[in-house]
Amino acid sequence: MIRENILKIKERISSICSKSNRDSDSIAIVAVSKGRSIQQIKEAIEAGIIDIGENRVQEALLKYNDMRYLPVGQAGAISDKQIKWHMVGHLQTNKVKDAVRIFDLIQSVDSIHLASEMDKQAAKINKIQEILVEVKTSPEAAKSGVLAQEAAGLIKTILELKNIRVRGLMTIAPIVDDPEKARPYFRILRELKEQINQLTNHQLTILSMGMTDDFEAAIEEGSNMVRVGRAIFEG
């Protein structure tokens, strides 16, 4: 089932990309596996997923440790080094140390306080921690995220941190009955990225937006990283 689900998602991404003249290989699919078992994650990886998203450090840590010793794939094992771990949930300061140890991309940075702590922990292990800044594009969406008008200021400050590399922006659109209603928030994020790139001497490249119910609209608005949970693991 997971394999078929992933195939269907890839087909949908291909068709939306050909309509908007984009290369479907440029869209990363992050399989958001909170609450899913290691067996389910393994199936997703065997079906070609390399990006795994979690929203709690504790849960991610258990899975990460287990999966390191798990032979994945009968034919052509996928080494754990190729798997990228994404933190997509709100992060508490006391979890930053563990998060920096296991995550390749922390997508939920929304304060200088959090970024500074990450910088400190990353320096200790000689790591350049890649991050996205989470932007609250709508009043009714998740509580986390920096306000759009404060994002540029936050990024300028983060750019001074030696062990942090800001790769782009992430947003969680509000839950709506029609994906068309989420589209304006995706557009806000894309425009914000363009503004920030002009304002700073830094190229933000990743736009992480779009989930099970709205990833097609998000891609049409410029997303190059979709975070999909239910469409991969359910149904």
* Contact residues for ligand PLP, defined by CB under 6 A: 32, 34, 55, 88-89, 172, 211-212, 227-231
Please report how close the Cβ of residue 56 comes to ligand PLP at its closest, in angstroms. 10
For residue 91, the Cα-to-chain-centroid distance in whole angstroms is: 14
Residue nearest ligand PLP, Cβ-based: 229
- Is the Cβ–Cβ distance between 91 and 57 less than 8 Å? yes
Beta carbon nearer to ligand PLP, 34 or 187: 34
Please name which of 215, 84, 204 lies closest in space to residue 156, comparing C-alpha atoms.
204
Least distance in Å: CB of 106 to ligand PLP? 12
Query: Number of C-alpha atoms within 13 angstroms, CB side, residue 35?
Result: 6
Residue with smaller CB distance to ligand PLP, 155 or 172: 172
Q: Is the CB of 86 or the CB of 161 nearer to ligand PLP?
A: 86
Sign of the Cα torsion 52, 56, 59, 60 reads: positive
Supply the minimum distance, in Å, between the C-beta of residue 175 and ligand PLP. 9
Q: Which residues have CB under 8 Å from 194's CB, separation 6+?
A: none
87 φ/ψ angles, rounded to the nearest 5 degrees: -95, 115
Nearer to ligand PLP, 179 or 188 (CB): 179
The DSSP secondary-structure symbol of 181 reads G
Type of residue at 35:
G
16 alpha-carbon distance from chain centroid? 20
Smallest separation, CB 228 to ligand PLP (Å): 5
118 or 209, CB closer to ligand PLP?
209
DSSP character at residue 91: -
Q: How far is the CB of 113 from ligand PLP (least distance, A)?
A: 20
145 versus 166: smaller Cβ distance to ligand PLP: 145
Residue 172 CB, shortest distance to ligand PLP, in Å, is 5
